[in-house]
Amino acid sequence: MDDLFGDDPPAEPRREELGEGAVLLRGRALTDEAALLDGLEAVIAEAPFRHMVTPGGFEMSVAMSNCGPFGWVTDRRGYRYQAEDPLSGKPWPEMPDVFRDLAEGAAVEAGYPGFTPDACLINCYQPGARMSLHQDKDEHDFVHPIVSVSLGLAAMFQFGGMKRSDPVRRIPLLHGDVVVWGGPSRLFYHGVLALKDGNHPKLGARRINLTFRRAQ
């Protein structure tokens, strides 16, 4: 576990089964690294990261942005998808082709052909930021999988079950790893433990997570 949680990605991408309907594709995004980082820079220039507020009034430790036809937002009115960036009032930036191609390709490899994301939530973790256990359930339906791409600092991913009280696996995610879950595991609770200090050669003291969904 300690070796796997280091800074160096595996030499060859490999597939790990996390449970029924859930797959980890280690290093899957590395071949598209340069284009992904260029796309990320363009999106953030148009829709900068911001710390959103939960319906309960708490500021999230993870900074967020979005791209694609719909973006996930949270404020005192609740959790939802909307077509406009609440900061600018403009549509969210277009989803870069390399983002969409990666999400669709990873979904096919995980056994989910036909997935076309219409939302990409971009999370920016800095040391100490975390994501508590939650379900992704703001989408129109749960037929489509979730595709999650990790970039930057390594993080400890938590993957549980249908109930918050179910046992939780801890899975280290490295730069370039892609997790896909759907079907029986689509509504499994998941989260990220507080990010540890570090410095990634391409992204510095940050972890970027691209989460692709079919919102509508």
pLDDT per residue over 163-185, tens digit each? 999 999 999 999 999 999 999 99
Average confidence (pLDDT) over 39-55: 98
pLDDT for the residue numbered 1: 35
130-141 burial code (b ≥16 CB/10 A, e <16): bbebeebeebee
Contacts of 134 (CB under 8 A, 6+ apart): 189, 190, 191
Q: How many CB atoms lie within 10 A of CB 172?
A: 16
- 4 — pLDDT class (breaks 50, 70, 90): very low
pLDDT in tens, 98-107: 999 999 999 9
Q: Is the pLDDT of residue 76 over 90?
A: yes
Contacts of 111 (CB under 8 A, 6+ apart): 21, 23, 183
Average confidence (pLDDT) over 42-61: 97
Phi, psi angle pair for 163, to nearest 5°: -115, 145
How far is it, in rounded angstroms, from Cα 156 to Cα 126? Answer: 13
Q: How far is CA 164 from CA 56, 133, 168, 170, in A?
A: 19, 7, 9, 15
pLDDT for the residue numbered 159: 98
How far is it, in rounded angstroms, from Cα 168 to Cα 158? Answer: 6
Q: Is the pLDDT of residue 5 over 90?
A: no
Residues shown for the chain: 216
pLDDT for the residue numbered 6: 45
pLDDT for the residue numbered 10: 47
Cα angle for residues 47, 52, 56 (degrees, 5° grid): 160
Q: Is the pLDDT of residue 141 over 70?
A: yes
Question: In what helix (H) or strand (E) does residue 197 lie, and over which residues does it extend?
Answer: none
Query: Average pLDDT, whole number, for the chain?
Result: 94
User: If you ran DSSP here, which 8-state letter would residue 204 be given?
Assistant: B
Contacts of 103 (CB under 8 A, 6+ apart): 115, 117, 120, 147, 149, 210, 212
* Rg of the chain on CA atoms, in Å: 16
Q: Is the pLDDT of residue 9 over 70?
A: no
- 189 — pLDDT class (breaks 50, 70, 90): very high
Closest CA to 72 of 130, 35, 117, 24: 117
- 12 — pLDDT class (breaks 50, 70, 90): low
Q: Is the pLDDT of residue 130 over 50?
A: yes
Domain 15-213 fold: Jelly Rolls (2.60.120)
How far is it, in rounded angstroms, from Cα 149 to Cα 52? Answer: 21
Q: Is the pLDDT of residue 123 over 60?
A: yes
Average confidence (pLDDT) over 15-25: 96
Q: How far is CA 16 from CA 22, 173, 210, in A?
A: 9, 12, 19
Q: Provide the β-strand partners of residue 14.
A: 26
- Residue boundaries of the structural domains of the chain: 15-213
pLDDT for the residue numbered 52: 98
Instruction: Take residue 28 and report the two structure tokens written for it.
Output: 């899957």
- 55 — pLDDT class (breaks 50, 70, 90): very high
